[in-house]
Amino acid sequence: MTYSRKCNLLATLAIPCLMLAAPARSAAAETASGGAGVTSYPPSFFAAYQPTTALDLINHLPGFGYDPGDQVRGFAGAASNVLIDGARPASKSDTTDNILSRIPAGDVDHIDLIRGGAPGIDMHGRTVMANVVRRKGDKTEIIASLQDNLFLNDGHTVPGGSLQITSRIGPRNLEAQVSRYASFDDSVGNGTLDTMLPGVSTVRQNVHNSGAGGGVGITGSYSGPDLGGVLRINLKLEETYFHSGLDYGLPPQTVVVDKNRGRDGEIGVNYERKFGPWDLQLIGLQHLERDNTREWSTSPGDVYFDNQIQRSGESIGRTVVRYEAGPALTFEGGGEAVYNFLAGHELYVDNGSQIPLPSDNVLVTETRGEVFGQASWKIDPKLRLEAGVRLEYSQIAESGDATNNRSFFYPKPRLLLTWDPLSNTEVRVRVERKVGQLNFSNFVSAVDFGTDGQINAGNPDLRPDDHWQYEAAVEQRFWGKGSIVVTGLHEEISDVNDYLPIAGTHPLVDGPGNIGSGTSDQLDIEETLPLDKLGVHGGLLKTTTVWRISSVPDPITHVDRRISGQRPDNIQFVYEQDVPEWKSTFSFTYYKGWRETYYRLGEVEHYHIGNQFIVVEWDYKPTRDLTFVIQGADLAPFKFYRYRQIWNGVRDASPVDENEFRTVQSQPRLYLRVRKTL
């Protein structure tokens, strides 16, 4: 039996268990409280898991999966589904999960799980939101953390660590951290490259793939009552690097080296003040970044070099006003103004000669404004309605090799209805229009030596993709810590972003562009199954099963196919076993892997992780202030596949020129971490 069938069977078998279990509740569940739409979980609910940080608590919320939000410009659209003290941190580059990992579990007073909205809470367009509420009172802690990643086949290591100071002075919270980052590529290892030419025998070469990096960073935050309200400030400065390599043949016949270095800084301020039933929120954020990527490809008789420099920045100002007309009705309105820029320069050298590329020296700017209004109405204790609209206007200008100036206007309505037919059952229905954002890097040409010098042409005529989303979800909670959430999503998409030939290029090349209208459908089943009632005390099984299908006309063949880059499924399960007498938690994670396909002008690329991704972990907490983590990853090493079918010209008008099949087997990895409160 395949793993996907096992997961489907687990989800199917759980449904009758839920029907039999409701409305029974375990003793642990009695520690959770709250009315319709909001459930409050105190620290005692999570005690069996021996949590170390607020992120550990979030990961054990029943019926909740952490979502970091989208990497988009602006503030509202990039929100995660976790708030801290009722507000989102005034930061984008310092992600919410990083912030949660720096909050000690002992500093958390309780966590509210909000379904469908609650008075005074900005849901940021989410149907479910978690709010981490910190304790008050004086306390100062210094926390040191050291970690290392050891790849067992070749022995290379990727170390990291941090030193953190957190201080609570009454209602004020201060935090500062210095970190040494560790980053790596899981698919490093040895493999083969088979090149199959029509009428010619297959040529095989050995392949070695490598990739690791790191960096240093400083973060700081402050929150507390100031200026008659609540003031929150976040700061982040960092420098990162990543080096990767790809060698073909023994001795290497072709060597590809990629070196990236980036610097970025960000400061964000969030101020909130109440005036009776009115609540005013002001947000300001400034982010600046510089990235430099250099890539070399050498083979007998050929040397290629590519250098890409990108400087970018974002400035955000946002105002939100909320009015509580009563315990059952809340109005919210406001606006957001954003200015973004990206200056990109691409230098491509072929055997000592500079080769000009389309749009290889471009400045892109965006000025965007948005006004919005919405109302949240608790129709009765079991029925809640949220309705609103956002009006977005933006102007994008390009200068340099390509000159263009375009403006866009999108009304974005949203309707969310939440119904609680039973105390442990919730139904959510959402209809919403969402508009994607253009990746500024797609305006600048780039060369990828990892795919034999493939050129991605910059496209000055890109438009955002436009999604009408129709979503329905059913959540059933049971056995105190158990839940199953089934969500269906249908999307009607206009101006699908994919790859298409770029007009005016000689010879003809392709790049990101709009290829027409399409559809996408997704079914998501998330299950958390506590095993105490089945005789496995302290056991917890969490499964995720997601299926996706999409359809869009191919711009070359005009035949419907999947949208490039969409993964058809996401299937995994995690088993956790708490052993309090050993002060330990053991876990086993199985991830099925993924597949992606990209449809280009003269080739189709398939990427696939085969086999499975298996991780085992032991968390040992001998004292309240000391934690050890030992993790074994890739214990059954997976294979990373890349298959390229290449035509001698445009796909629909040329014969197949060659097929390439590259396979690299990953290495088992040992992860070690020690965390000590000094």
The predicted model gives 394-404 an average pLDDT of 83
Query: How open is the CA angle 19-21-27, to the nearest 5 degrees?
Result: 155
pLDDT tens per residue across span 100-117: 888 888 889 999 988 766
**Strand-pair partners of 217:** 179, 238
Which tokens hold the place of 493? 């998409």
Measured between alpha carbons, how far is 350 from 360 in angstroms, rounded to an integer? Answer: 15
Residue 506: per-residue pLDDT: 66
Q: According to the per-residue pLDDT averaged within each range, which of 52-61, 126-135, 577-586 is highest?
A: 577-586
5, containing H or E segment: helix 3-21
In angstroms, how far is the first alpha carbon of the chain from the final one?
Answer: 50
Cβ-Cβ contacts under 8 Å for 380 (sequence gap 6 or more): none
> 500: burial class by Cβ within 10 Å (0-12, 13-18, 19+)?
buried
Give pTM, 2 decimals: 0.83
pLDDT value at residue 297: 86
What is the full DSSP assignment across 40-75?
Answer: EE-HHHHGGG---BHHHHHTT-TT---------SSS
**Is the preceding peptide bond at 327 cis, omega within 30 degrees of 0?**
no
- % of residues, the chain, pLDDT over 70: 87
- The C-alpha atoms of residue 143 and residue 166 are separated, in whole angstroms, by 8
The helix/strand count (H/E) of the chain reads as: 4, 37
> Which of 10-24, 28-42, 181-195, 525-539 bottoms out in mean pLDDT, i.e. has the lowest?
10-24
Domain ranges for the chain, please list them.
3-677
- pLDDT of 159 > 80? The answer is yes
Q: Which two tokens stand for residue 147?
A: 């970690």
Residue 312 has pLDDT above 80, yes or no: yes
Cβ–Cβ < 8 Å for 469, 443: no
Task: Please name which of 483, 391, 493, 497 lies closest in space to residue 437, comparing C-alpha atoms.
Answer: 497
* 65-74, 268-277, 414-423: least confidently modelled range: 65-74
Q: Residue 14: helix, strand or coil by DSSP?
A: helix
Q: Quick: pLDDT tens for 177-207.
A: 999 999 988 888 899 989 888 777 888 889 9
Q: For position 349, what pLDDT does the model report?
A: 87
Of the candidates 450, 449, 599, 438, the one whose C-alpha atom is nearest the C-alpha of residue 510 is 599
| % of the chain with per-residue pLDDT over 90 | 50
pLDDT at residue 13 greater than cutoff 80: no
- Using the predicted structure, report yes or no on whether residue 631 has a pLDDT greater than 90: yes
Which residues lie closer than 8 Å to 116 by C-beta, 6 or more apart? 37, 127, 128, 384, 386, 416, 418, 426, 428
Region 225-239 average pLDDT: 94
Look at the alpha carbons of 421, 414, 89, 233 in this order and tell me if their dihedral is positive or negative. negative
Is residue 594 pLDDT above 50, yes or no? yes
Strand arrangement, sheet containing 38-41: 38-41, 108-115, 128-134, 82-84
- Contact, 38 vs 114, CB < 8 A? yes
Name the more confident of 75 and 201.
Answer: 201
Task: Pick one of 2.40.170.20, 3.40.50.20, 3.10.450.50, 2.40.110.10 as the CATH number of 3-677.
Answer: 2.40.170.20
User: Where residue 124 falls among pLDDT bands split at 50, 70, 90?
Assistant: low
